Amino acid sequence: MKKRKSMNHKDRTFLLMILPIVAIFFLFNTLPLIRGAVYSFTNYKGYGSYDWVGIRNYIDLFTDIRVGKSYLFTFKYAVSGMILVNVISIMLALALTAKIRIKSTLRGIYFLPNILGGLIVGYIFSFIFTYIIPSIGTALNIGWMQNSILASERYAWIGVLIVGVWQAVAMNTIIYISGLQTIPAEIYEAGMIDGAGAWKTFSSLTLPMLMPFVSINLVVSTKNMLMVFDQIVSLTKGGPAQSTESISYLIYRNGMGGGQFGFQSANAVIFFIVIVAISLCQMWMTNKREEQL
C-alpha cells in the first residue's frame, strides 16, 4: 500500500503533462455537453428568457416526423457509407502495398481528398452533379443521367454518399496500409507453402491479422458518417423535399438558426447516446474476432 501512495518523479511528470489536457477537454467538451443537456429540459431559443419544460422535448422527439426521417436518412447513409468505405479502402490499401511503381506518389494522390475541405469538395461536386453529368447524359442520350441526381428526392442521398465516401476513403486507406505493414511476411510464406490461393490468403491470413485495424476503421468511419454535415450543407442543404436532412444538420439548422435551441439540445443528447452505444457495440463485436500472434 505504501508503494502506491508515494508517487515517483516520472509519474508526477506524466500527471502534469496530462492534467492541462484533461482541463481543456473538460472546459471545451464536457462542460458544453453538460450545459446542452441542461438546456434540453427548457424551451430556450438561444437568447432571452426561457421556461423549464421537463421532459417535453424528449417526448416531442419521438413524435416528430422530421426528426424520425432525419434518423432514417442518417442511418441509411452511415451503414451504406461504412460498408463502402471499408471495402474500397481495404482494396486500395492492398493495391497500394503491393510492389508497384510510383507507390508513394499514388499514396499521396489517394490521400488528397482528406486534405481538401469538406465544403470545397462539396461545391465542386455540386457543380459536377448539376451541370457536367447531365450534359454528358444529354449528349450520350442516357435517360437517368440527364437530370441532376441532387434534384431527385429518391436518389439525392446517393449523390451525397458518393462525395462522403470519396472523401472518407483516404483516411481509412492510410490506416489499413499501416495495418498491412504490421503483418509479418513469414505467415504469408507459411500460407504459400500450404498452397493457399489469393482469396484464401486474404480471408484466412490478411483479414484476421488486420482485424484490430478493421475495428478502428469501423468505429471511426461509422462515427464520421453519422455526423455527416459538410456534404449536406454544400450539396443539398437537406433537400430536395427534406430527403437528405441529417441529424447534425437538423440540430445545427434549427438549434442555431431557428429558435429550437432547447429541443435540438435534447436531440443532440439522444444522438450522443446513440453514437456511444453504436461504438461500444462495434468494439465489442470486433474485439472478439481479433487474432493474436
Interaction between residue 238 and another protein (CB under 8 A): yes
Q: How far is the CB of 50 from another protein (least distance, A)?
A: 9
The residue written with cell numbers 475495428 in the block is 215
Distance CA 148, CA 150 (A): 5
Q: HSE, CB side, 13 Å, CA atoms: give it for residue 180.
A: 18
Strands (E) located in the chain: none
CB of 58 to another protein, least distance (A): 15
CB-wise, 32 or 108, nearer to another protein?
32
Residue placing its CB nearer to another protein in the complex, 217 or 267: 267
The set of residues, in sequence order, having a beta carbon less than 8 Å from that of 117 and lying 6+ positions away, is: 230
Distance CA 178, CA 102 (A): 18
By the rule CB under 8 A, 69 interacts with another protein? no
Q: Does residue 159 bind another protein (CB under 8 A)? A: no
Site string (197-236) toward another protein, x via CB under 8 A: ---------------------------------------x
Rounded to whole angstroms, how far apart are CA atoms 250 and 268? 10
Residue 137 binds another protein, judged by CB under 8 A: no
Minimum Å gap between C-beta 244 and another protein is 11
Q: Is 147 in the site for another protein (CB under 8 A)?
A: yes
Q: How many whole angstroms separate alpha carbon 232 and alpha carbon 160?
A: 7
Give the nearest distance from C-beta 240 to another protein in angstroms: 5
Comparing CB distances to another protein, the nearer of 73 and 176 is 73
> Residue 85 corresponds to which cell in the numbers above?
468505405
Q: Which stretch binds another protein (CB under 8 A): 196-204, 208-216, 255-263, 269-277?
A: 255-263
Enter the C-alpha cell of residue 228: 455527416
> 252, 265, 38, 78: which is closest to 165 by C-alpha?
78
Give me the residues paired with residue 42 across strands.
52
Long-range (24+ apart) CB contacts under 8 A made by 64-69 are: 66/242, 66/245, 66/250, 67/247, 67/250, 67/267, 69/242, 69/243, 69/245
Q: Which of residues 28-47 bind another protein (CB under 8 A)?
A: 43, 45-47
Q: Is the Cβ of residue 134 or residue 179 nearer to another protein in the bound state?
A: 134
Q: Could you say whether residue 195 binds another protein (CB under 8 A)? A: no
Q: Which of 20, 48, 143, 195 binds another protein (CB under 8 A)?
A: 48
Segment lying near another protein (by CB under 8 A), choices 22-30, 188-196, 253-261, 267-275: 253-261
Q: Does 134 bind another protein (CB under 8 A)?
A: yes
Burial of 236 (C-beta count, 10 Å sphere; 0-12/13-18/19+)? buried
Chain residues that interact with another protein, rule: CB under 8 A: 43, 45-49, 51, 130, 134, 147-148, 150-151, 153, 236-242, 253-254, 256-260
